[in-house]
Chains A and B, each alone.
Chain A
Amino acid sequence: MKLRFTQFFLTLTLILASLGVCAQVQVSGTIVDDAGTGLPGVNVLVVGTSTGTVTDLDGNFTVTAPADAILRLSYIGFEAQEVAIEGQSIINVTLASDANLIDEVVVVGYGSQSRESVTGAISSVSGEALTELTTPNLGEALQGRLAGVQVTNSGAPGASPEIQVRGIGSISFGSGPLIVVDGFPAAGGLNQFDSRDVESITVLKDASSTAVYGSRASNGVLLVTTKSGGKNQPIKMSLETTVGVQIQRQRYDVMNTDQYLRYAEIMTGMPLARNLDEIAPGTNLAYRDIDTDWQGALFQDGLMTQNSLHISGGSDRSSFFSSFGYFQQEGVIVGGGYERFNFRFNSKHDISENGKFRFGQTLVLVNDERQNEPGNVFRDAVQGIPYLPVRNPNNIGGFNGANQGLDSADPRNPILSALLFDNENRDFRTLGTAFLDYDILEGLTATVLFGANYNVGRNYRRNPIFQSTTDNILNSITEERGTGYSPLYRGQLTYDKILGNHTINATVVAEQQEGYGYFTSVSGDRTDNLDVVNGAGNINGTSSRSKTVLRSLLARATYGLMGRYLFTFSVRRDQSSIFAPGNQTEIFPAGAIAWRISEEPFMQNTAVSTLKLRASYGRTGSIGIGPYEFQAPVIQAFGPVVGGNSPVVSAFINDLANGDLSWELTDMLNIGADIGFLNNRLNFSVEYYDREVNNLILDVPLPPSFGPDGTRQNVGAMRNTGLEFQGQYFSNRQQEFKWEVSANLSRNTNEVLRLAVEDGEILLGQQVGQPYTADLPPTITRPGDPVFSFYGFETNGLFQTQSEIADLPEQENAQPGDVRFVDQNGDNVIDNLDRVILGNYLPDFIYGVNLAAQWRNFDARVFLQGSQGNDVYNGFRSMLFQTTRLFNGSPDRLDGWTPQNTSTDVPRIALEDNNRNRRMSDRFLEDGSYLRMKNITIGYRIPFGGNSAVSNLRFYVSAQNLFTITNYSGLDPEIGRVTQGLVGFDDGRYPQAKTFLFGAQVGF
């Protein structure tokens, strides 16, 4: 099959070549690597023409060319070489492996650049590294790979991780980077893109590289480039399949039946009302002999598999890449799961024979489905009563429940929640771009690009009829559908020219991107267990729509002098319909300079192969608010009771719409250096940045006399400063044992500079709920301190005696055995004014280390990743120690303080807890530092030679999250955002499980 295609292409090439030219000679030869092995697929191009070929499986080629022509031989991973024919008919060449292993060309906004000419802070990661990890989410694959990019995962199947570039950029809104896929900005979540389709991901970090994305670029830009076929390539097909299992063995320590019964009696002061000698329904055991492991019932070993089929190839004028991918992850919680299908087709074509008129397109279709785990299942599992079985055949639905009267407790049955409740997301996305390039003059290219991003997100929720702790007597069903359509129109002119010592590149772009949103929702209750709203009672429905327009003009010029002095200047003008007319326009300028010291004459013949200093400064923005916030809607609602006894409809305006709202603006200074030795086999980059965000949109309270209670204003300011380090070493490629190591480390510090009022503070995160904080807002944001700092009381042991309580500052309702809080302000009263900043979720630094080695046909990769110096507030542990309501929890509660048991740090079992022992305090603050063995892979490539149809066969085994070194007491120290303003707070998060995988790659 493959041979026939190759032969076809070869023949075609030969015919075309021989037709077009006179005074031709036929040249043939063999191209080998250092070891003398023939290299298949090497591009052989007759310089100055579009004639060329590729080598066959044994490295042989034949080409017809003018007798004085030059052949250019190029192959990925090897140094390109030019050979003059000089009348020879046989040319054998040995290609040297490419010593400079850094990608030579990097993708930047609206174009690409050679690595040497980059003036900003740009890092990239190859598709190869991204696919090392088997994960449904590209974001997770980025973790630990790029300095300055912090990724925080959730273990839930299909969940999106938090990605933060150079610190947190907003107080009121999420601040993830802009994601640009194949030139299409705001392409959606990274979990819908198959990591194996990705050629590379580039992160633009400093203002000079991001400012071309203007008003959406404040939080960094991720440029995802998907794979494409190469010209003059035989059709290649590769199959990769990976299958594995995820396991979660670690559990929260909770009381068994004996301990629980003892505890219940101490707490409630009397034996439970339930007759524990009774046989539990559906079992042949008395309640007291049952010891249900609720967590064991909740966790499962889950299947994970990723499968892909790639086909690519190209003729002299067309090339394509197409793929099919299937991903499935069951997850480690029963009833959950994620499944995804991907289809992709990318192609490029020279429309005109001379190659000046080109067409290209990308298209991806994705459908994914996710069964969301119900809320609080971890809480319900640890609070489960151990003497109650999970199931009860006598109940509708088949699940057991607690009885408040008999059990004095009412935990929900988490297995019921996980298995009976439906909460399913089904998302379909199609993202496509099509472009025409035309070389108007030499160096001047015009491009017209159209793109469209269409997605349908559906959510289906159903709570069926069941009997349990609380019965559900109605089957309630909600179906929601959100449709988004975003067309993109772009015209671009690029001018690229080298004039002696001057390198000039200029880009001008006019662009408009629109967003259309449509949302509909319908819900109903029914008395049977059908799945649909049709025929239900109490039917409710709503729909809404939105439209946004972003119109942009941008220009960028780069100028290089003698290859040593580089200058970049860009400016973008954005207009957005999200803001009020008159306030829609903002200009985002940026500039950068770089000095390639290593190119100076005085640096020649030194060990230093690269030395470049870079500096940049510029402005970017971000839109936090949604559309229409500049308009105060007229609300029509029932309310006044006049003209009878029933409320009538009235109309009013509740909001003060601030028409002055505008972008949050970031000004960033970046200073960086690139250093390389040994022909760049050893290379480093370091960056320093100072990122100040102004015009932060905050909720501003209005005086009560004003009418509306509050509004939003661009008033806050915040600063992130940081250092980034990235280094790589490659062993000598000539050796049989090849290895490389790369490492990165980033440090970011955050400080809030200004809020709406002087000495203002913003308390956030209260929504996380009473069980974890005892009703105090968990974080504070105030000038001079890092954003979202944990806020609460400092503790100092337990009160031992009444007289101790009397002697110490007044602590209302304290009793012996209660927690002693510290009087911070010295006013002799413990109250909310004594709260202090306890810690912060922001790490001192994050890092990643990657090792790769190859020996003969064996390959191995090890990837470590970690975070140092971040705090986690273990709200879940606070809940495990709650004693105000009867639930299962930590067995250490039995070690609670009593007049007889005073040498303990566990407070008394306080049914009322008037002292609020569990309030936000340092008791539950933990060091969240960790080092994780993110991945280890060992592979073996079975050598195939000759004319075998199989060109490549590799097997590998890998283990993900094999171990995590941490002092954190919960299941997983990696904890992302709970709600806006609350990060690093453990309220029972889905842990990242250990994963063991086996995979096979076959190439044809």
Chain B
Amino acid sequence: MKLRLFLLLGLLGVVTYACNEEDLTQLNPNSVTPENYFTTAGELEAAVLSGYATLRAQHLTARHYFFLNDLMDDHHIGTSALQVAPELVRGQQVAASPHIRQMFDALYDLVHRENTALDGIAANETVDEDVKRALEAEAKFLRGWAYNEIATLWGGAPIYTTRNVSLGDFKPRSSREEVFAIAQSDLRFAVDNLLPDRPDGEIGRATKGAAMGFLARSLMQSGNVTEAKTVLQGIVELNKYALLDNFGDNFTEENAFLGEALFEVIFAQNGGYNWSDSGDGTNTRSIRAQEYGPSWRNVVPTAAVLAAFPAEALGDSYTDPRLSETLIFEGQEYANGTETLQINPNSPPVKYGENEVYVNFYKYGVYYKENPGGYRETNANFILMRYADVLLLLAEAEARTSGDLQKARDLINQVRARAGAPLLDEAGIANGNANEIMDAVVHEREVELVGEQVRSRDLRRWHTAGIVNAEQILGYAENKFLLPIPEEEITNNPMIGLEDQNPGYN
């Protein structure tokens, strides 16, 4: 009997043990889980900062951002060496184009990382509210920048404002206006809550001025010129930015934080080029000079960009000094006269006046100091927006709102004077009325901002505003001005179907 009791008790013991429900919930001991993270200011900050890695990832500013934006304008053309999105040159992109998908993906990875941070900030109840608000502003700065790029390049797109945690979280395509609206609301929050300055240890992170710059850019692109004008004027009044004495200093390896850029993505002398799609890892060098440089020569200038620069060789009264800071011709001396450029002719020569020439981009290269050789990574920071752009946008806003035209003239002249180009009147550029001033802005932006990923958006903005005929300039129809929603988005997002694709694509 005793034995029976003993056994039954034993059995009961096993069953009791087996009913300890807590045992069945096993959390990963090898990594931190979202539930246990986002508790300290440092953790919230780390989550926000992760977006800066995406920003410098190869599918954004390390590579795709400049390729895609540049190839959508009339200044850049691919050579036989071009592998990244060659189809963009003639508007032949399709929904299956891989590089278009990759950049779309990278922008949303940035959105995803900042949404993760924003969720963490929202859920946190211990960190100081001011600290949290500043971090929220920084996260929204990055997210707002990404949404503005998405609205600019693709138009309508899904809007996610929290991290997706389940397969029920798919969102349909919002309208282009809605995407601009979320971008601008994020950037306004950033403007209101970021400080104009960062201490040395935070250099390269979002500031009030940078947020204002992107907000103004976004407002201009969405057609809200009036509000843009106010924001742009605000940037001037911040008194934080100035044009560098030397135009070319903006594009050298030594260009870090000289005072003209509103926001720059840091590339530095650590390891090599970062091939990671996420931007994580310790490699921090840029490959931009190599991609457009003399060895690979993936992208070269078009006849249009050559023709845009007034030059005595073309019979103009002056040669714009920015020509030699932007382009370099076959046979030209460089590196302080120690080298002569020999171009590997992997594309047809371009027409320049009566001649045909071989020409490369000089801007962002290292020609100014040395022969780049077969392979040369650089440490030049990637400037996403600089003060000259702001001044010219403000001039455009004044002209388009028939505002202070004299101020517009002064702004343009300020940019010309820094470059060493004759002022408007001196150069014989008409500037009598708002329309003429607008034309002067078009010309000024064309020569000032070559290869800075603004020309493609300028053409599209001006086309919409009836200022230029971008169809003619680009050689393809308006319905190719926006990029196609990537095939993977249509296939894998149950809320988006073929019928949601941008017109002109299938």
Contacts and interface: CB of A to CB of B under 8 A. Distances in A.
A642 B49 contact: yes
Interface stretch (A64-72, A292-300, A704-712, A867-875): A704-712
Contacts of B50: 639-640, 650-652
B24 A438 contact: no
Contacts of A641: 52, 56, 204, 266-268, 270, 284
A645 B266 contact: yes
Contacts of B167: 656, 658, 660, 711, 713
B105 A650 contact: no
A628 B14 CA distance: 26
Contacts of B31: 633-635
Q: Which of A512, A514, A649, A652 has the most CB of B within 10 A?
A: A652
Interface in B35-84: 37, 43, 46-47, 49-53, 55-56
Nearest to B3: A357
Contacts of B165: 632, 656-657
Interface string B1-42: 001100110110011011000011111111111100100000
B279 A707 contact: no
A753 interface: no
B200 A643 contact: yes
Contact of B53 (A440, A640, A643, A646): A640
B486 interface: yes
Given A640-B50, A648-B49, A448 B14 contact: yes
Interface in A629-671: 631-654, 656-660
- Interface range on chain A (Cβ under 8 Å from partner): 35 or more
A636 B24 contact: no
B33 A650 contact: no
Contact of A631 (B33, B53, B493): B33
A656 B167 CA distance: 9
Contact of B47 (A440, A646, A651, A660): A651
Contacts of B329: none
Nearest to A544: B30
Interface stretch (A546-554, A606-614, A968-976): A546-554
B249 interface: no
A282 interface: no
A521 to B, nearest CB: 13
Interface string A516-553: 00000000000000000000000000001111110100
Nearest to B28: A628
A657 B164 CA distance: 10
A490 interface: yes
Contacts of A635: 31
Interface stretch (B107-115, B187-195, B418-426, B450-458): B107-115
B14 A643 contact: no
A814 B25 CA distance: 60
Contacts of A706: 108, 112, 160, 164, 169-170, 492-493
B274 to A, nearest CB: 9
Given A641-B268, A644-B201, A448 B7 contact: yes
Nearest to B119: A653
A549 B282 contact: no
B31 to A, nearest CB: 4
B270 A645 contact: yes
A641 B265 CA distance: 8
A642 B14 contact: no
A448 B12 CA distance: 10
A649 B202 contact: no
Nearest to A657: B165
B282 A510 contact: no
Q: Which of A549, A578, A651 has the most CB of B within 10 A?
A: A651
B202 A642 contact: yes
A940 interface: no
A702 interface: yes
A446 interface: yes
B325 interface: no
A704 B11 contact: no
Given A639-B278, A651-B47, A707 B18 contact: no
Contacts of A581: 24-25
A429 B404 CA distance: 86
A480 interface: no
Interface string B163-198: 111110111000000000000000000000000000
Contacts of B104: 704-705
A854 interface: no
Interface string A666-710: 000000000000000000000000000000000011111111110
A545 B29 contact: yes
Nearest to A643: B201
Contacts of B203: 642-644
Contacts of A797: none
A232 interface: no
B27 A628 contact: yes
B281 interface: yes
A640 B170 contact: no
Contact of B204 (A352, A578, A634, A642): A642
B48 to A, nearest CB: 8
B194 to A, nearest CB: 14
Contact of B113 (A438, A512, A652, A660): A652
A547 B108 CA distance: 35
B121 to A, nearest CB: 13
A511 interface: yes
Q: Which of A438, A548, A648, A707 has the most CB of B within 10 A?
A: A707
B67 to A, nearest CB: 18
A637 B205 contact: no
B34 to A, nearest CB: 6
23 contacts: A436-B10, A446-B7, A446-B11, A510-B11, A510-B18, A512-B17, A546-B29, A546-B30, A633-B31, A633-B32, A639-B278, A642-B205, A647-B270, A647-B282, A650-B49, A654-B278, A656-B164, A656-B165, A656-B166, A659-B166, A706-B108, A706-B170, A707-B164
The 4 closest A-B pairs by CB, nearest first: A707-B112, A639-B53, A640-B52, A633-B31
Interface of B: 3-4, 7-8, 10-11, 14-15, 17-18, 23-34, 37, 43, 46-47, 49-53, 55-56, 101, 104-105, 108-109, 111-113, 115-116, 157-158, 160, 163-167, 169-171, 200-205, 266-270, 278-282, 284, 486, 488-489, 491-493, 496
Given A578-B26, A642-B204, 4 more contacts: A551-B18, A645-B284, A703-B491, A703-B492
Interface of A: 352, 357, 436, 438, 440, 446, 448, 489-491, 493, 510-512, 514, 544-549, 551, 575-578, 581, 584, 627-628, 631-654, 656-660, 700-709, 711, 713, 757
